[in-house]
Amino acid sequence: FVPLLLPVQRLPWQGTRRYSNQQFPKITTHYTVVSRETDPRWKGVNMERFADETDVVVVGGGPAGLAAAIRLKQLAEAGGKELRVCVVEKAAEIGGHILSGACIDPVALNELIPDWKEKGAPLNTPVTKDKFSYLTQSSRIPIPILP
């Protein structure tokens, strides 16, 4: 076996897309590279620092972070204590990075907040059936395979 070596034309990596000669702008939001005062994407965004005092800070507004914050408040209320809990989330809104497919099993929600339906939680489409399949390149095989 003798490997065949073909000549490869290499393009400069810096400032070009791979396999393309077209230039594209360097995109970054890091303030040391492009000042936020001159970057149009930051126009109108309030960049003032905010200071607040809290008893507990929960990092992450996903299911676990929200459950922790809610349960802490419930326990504090049951114990007659004032507790300030702050949830810090990097997304624009709480739970913005959840990749669950927007389907939740309400069992944990029923345990955590029994009256969530009466409070108007925006969960308006109940699941009535489900399917599980193995996807191939050209078809779908239902699982479990029934005789």
Q: Quote the pTM value.
A: 0.53
Segment holding 64, helix H or strand E:
helix 63-78
Q: For 72-96, how does the pLDDT look when each residue is reduced to its tens digit (9 = 90+)?
A: 999 999 999 999 999 998 887 777 7
Beta bridge partners of residue 59, listed in sequence order: 88
- Both tokens assigned to 12: 């400069």
Q: For 94-145, how does the pLDDT look when each residue is reduced to its tens digit (9 = 90+)?
A: 777 776 556 677 788 888 888 988 988 877 777 788 888 889 999 998 888 7
